[in-house]
Chains A and B, each alone.
Chain A
Amino acid sequence: MNGQRVLNHVPWTLADAVGRLRRRELSSVELTRAYLDRIDRFDGRLGAYVTRLDDDALAAADTADRALDAGGRGRLLGVPIAIKDIIATREANTWSNSEVDRPEWTARRDAQAVARLRSAGAVILGKLTTNEYALGGPDPGKRFPVPHNPWNVGRTAGGSSSGSAIAVAAGLCAGALGTDTGGSVRVPCAFNGVTGLLPTFGRVPADGVVPLAWSMDRVGPMARTAQDCAVLTDVLTAAPAGTERPSTYDLTGLRVGIVNATLATTDTDPAAVAAMDTAGAVLAGRGAQVSAVTLPRYDQTVAAAVLSLFGEAFDAHRDLLADHWGEYGRETRLALVRGAFVSAADYTRAQRVRALVQRELADVFARVDVLIMPTVTIGAPERAGLFESDVLRHVHTFYWNAVSNPVLAAPGGFTAERMPIGLQFVAAPFQDDLLLAVGQAFQSMSDHHLAVPAEVAV
C-alpha cells in the first residue's frame, strides 16, 4: 500500500456512501457537513473549490434525508457531488476560471448532466477549479484559486479538471464531474491517483458546458473507483431504472492489447512501464489473453485532434479575443490564437484523418476487447505553463479525443517519488460498460486506487 486508507468522517467510496445512506447509518446532512468540514480544513492549501454552495447543499441534503426516510431510492440520493466550473449550475455563476465577461454563462441554469445528477438525488457541494476555459493554465494573478496536487503541493494537479481530481483524491466530495477535450479528465486522474471515465462521445450530453471544441468535448465522472464511476455513468447516461451491474466480472477469454512500444521515450518513468506490465499480468492472471498492439497512425491522429481542438476553440472565442485579448490569461490567449492559423483545408484534412482512424480502429477492436496504455509516462511534475513545459510529449490522451471511443483512466502505480501513475483502458465505441467492468475487476486485484495522500489522510 502506497498511502493510508483513512478519511475520517466520510465514506471511503461513493458506492459506500450510497449504501450507508440507504441503510440510514449516516444522514445526508451529516455526510454533507463532513465534506464541508474537510473542505474547511484542507482546501485553503489545495485550491479545489472556486465556489462553495454550503447553504444550498445542506438544504438539498435535508430534502434527501426526508426522501430516504420515506424509502426513496434515487441512485445518488443524498450523495455530495461537486462540479467542474465550466459546467453550468443553477445556484452559481460558471466562471470557467476566466475574467473575460461572458454573461451567457453566468445565467443560472443546470447543464443537462447536472440536471441528471440532481434528478438522481445528488447534493451539489460546489464548483471546482479548472484551467481557463479548460485550456490555459493556473494563473496566480487572477482571482481564482491555484490548484495544488494533494500528493505534493509543489507539483501540478494536471488539467483542466484539476479541482475535480483534487477534490476526489482529498476526500472533499464523494464524486465529481469533469470534462475532457484533450485529456482533461484523464491527466488529472493520473496525476492525483483517482479514477475517471471518458464516455463514448455523445453518451453524456454536453449541453450547458462552456464549449472548447464542439466535436470533441465530453463530460465524464471522476471518483475513487471504477465502481463509483459506474454509478455516476448510469445517472449521466440516463440508464433505465433497475439496471444492475454484476459485482464480479469474469475475465476469462477477454482479449487485452497492451500499447506501449511506440509510446516510451528515454526519459519515461520506469514506474509507467512497470504499471503497464503489472496491469497486463494481473488481467492475464484472471484468464485474459494479453497481446501487444500498435495503434494506427499515432502521430497523425494526435495532430488531427490538436488541429481540430485549436480550430474549434478559436471559432468559439474569436470575437472575445478581438475585444478582450488582455483579459484572457497569457497562456490561454496564446493557445487560442493558434486556431487562427488553421485553414479550412487543414481542418477538413483533420476530419478526414479522424474518420480514417476511426475505421482502422474498428479493425483493431475486432481483434481485442480492451487496450491498455499509459495516460502520462511520468508522475506529476512541478507546476509550469502547459505549453511552455516539456510535459506534453509525455501525455498520451489526445489520440482518443480524435475518435469517439470510451476510455477509463485508473491509477496504475507510483513513481519512486510516490507520485501516482495512471493507466488508460480503452474499448470500442459504446463499450463503456465493458470498460467499467474490467476496471472494477482490475481494482479488485490492485490497491493503487485505495491510497490517500498523507496531506489529507486524517
Chain B
Amino acid sequence: MNNDPTPAEQTTATHEVVLTLRRYRIAVPDAELSHVIAAHGFVRGLADLLAAVPDLALVGLGDELGDRRARAQGTA
C-alpha cells in the first residue's frame, strides 16, 4: 500500500501548517517552510504511533493515585 500523501493531502497539510504558524504569530521565511512542513509530518507520525496504543481504557490516573494513597495508608 502506498502511504505517500496525495497532492490534495499535501495541500491540506501545508494549509494546516500555515494556519498554525499564523495562530502563534510565527513568520517563517519561505526558504524554511518546507522544513516546517516536514516537522508537521514528523509530529503527525509520532501521534499516529501513539493513537494505535491499545489498553489505554484500562489506565486511569485517578485509580493510580488512589492506589498510591491506599498504599501510603497501609490499606492496600
Is B70 in the interface zone, CB < 8 Å from A?
no
Per-residue contact bits, chain B 14-38, to A (CB 8 Å; 1 contact, 0 not) = 0011001100111110001001100
Residues of A within 8 A of B53 (CB): 297, 300, 349, 353, 356
- By size class, the interface of chain A is 20 to 34
The reply to whether A359 and B64 contact each other, CB–CB distance below 8 Å, is yes
Question: Which residues of A272-330 have CB atoms within 8 Å of chain B's CB atoms?
Answer: 297, 299-300, 303-304, 306-307, 310, 318, 321-322, 325, 330
Residues of B within 8 A of A304 (CB): 50
Question: Which residues of B21-64 have CB atoms within 8 Å of chain A's CB atoms?
Answer: 21, 24-28, 32, 35-36, 39-40, 42-44, 46-47, 49-53, 55-56, 59, 61, 64
Q: Taking chain A's interface residues, is the majority helix, strand, or loop, or is none over half, making it mixed?
A: helix
The reply to whether B56 and A356 contact each other, CB–CB distance below 8 Å, is yes
Is A261 in the interface zone, CB < 8 Å from B?
no
Question: Which residues of A321-377 have CB atoms within 8 Å of chain B's CB atoms?
Answer: 321-322, 325, 330, 334-335, 337-343, 346, 349-350, 352-353, 355-356, 359
The reply to whether A321 and B24 contact each other, CB–CB distance below 8 Å, is yes
Q: Taking chain B's interface residues, is the majority helix, strand, or loop, or is none over half, making it mixed?
A: helix
The reply to whether A359 and B50 contact each other, CB–CB distance below 8 Å, is no
The reply to whether A338 and B43 contact each other, CB–CB distance below 8 Å, is yes
The reply to whether A346 and B32 contact each other, CB–CB distance below 8 Å, is no
* Chain A residue at minimum C-beta to C-beta distance from B32: A334
| CB within 8 Å for A356 and B55 given contacts A321-B24, A334-B32, A346-B50 | yes
| CB within 8 Å for A310 and B43 given contacts A318-B24, A355-B59, A355-B64 | yes
* Chain A residue at minimum C-beta to C-beta distance from B67: A359
The smallest C-beta distance from B10 to any residue of chain A, in angstroms, reads 15
The reply to whether A346 and B47 contact each other, CB–CB distance below 8 Å, is yes
Return the contact of A353 from the options B27, B56, B61 (Cβ within 8 A): B56
| CB within 8 Å for A321 and B26 given contacts A303-B46, A350-B50, A359-B59 | yes
The smallest C-beta distance from B11 to any residue of chain A, in angstroms, reads 16
The smallest C-beta distance from B76 to any residue of chain A, in angstroms, reads 14
Residues of A within 8 A of B21 (CB): 337, 340
* Chain B residue at minimum C-beta to C-beta distance from A318: B24
The reply to whether A325 and B26 contact each other, CB–CB distance below 8 Å, is yes
Interface residues of chain A, those whose CB is within 8 Å of chain B, are 297, 299-300, 303-304, 306-307, 310, 318, 321-322, 325, 330, 334-335, 337-343, 346, 349-350, 352-353, 355-356, 359
CB<8 Å pairs between A and B, sample of 9: A303-B49, A334-B36, A338-B43, A339-B43, A340-B24, A346-B43, A352-B61, A355-B59, A355-B61
Interface residues of chain B, those whose CB is within 8 Å of chain A, are 16-17, 20-21, 24-28, 32, 35-36, 39-40, 42-44, 46-47, 49-53, 55-56, 59, 61, 64
Starting from the known contacts A335-B39, A341-B44, 11 additional A-B residue pairs (CB-CB under 8 Å) come to A297-B53, A306-B46, A318-B24, A318-B26, A321-B26, A322-B27, A325-B28, A334-B32, A334-B39, A342-B47, A353-B53
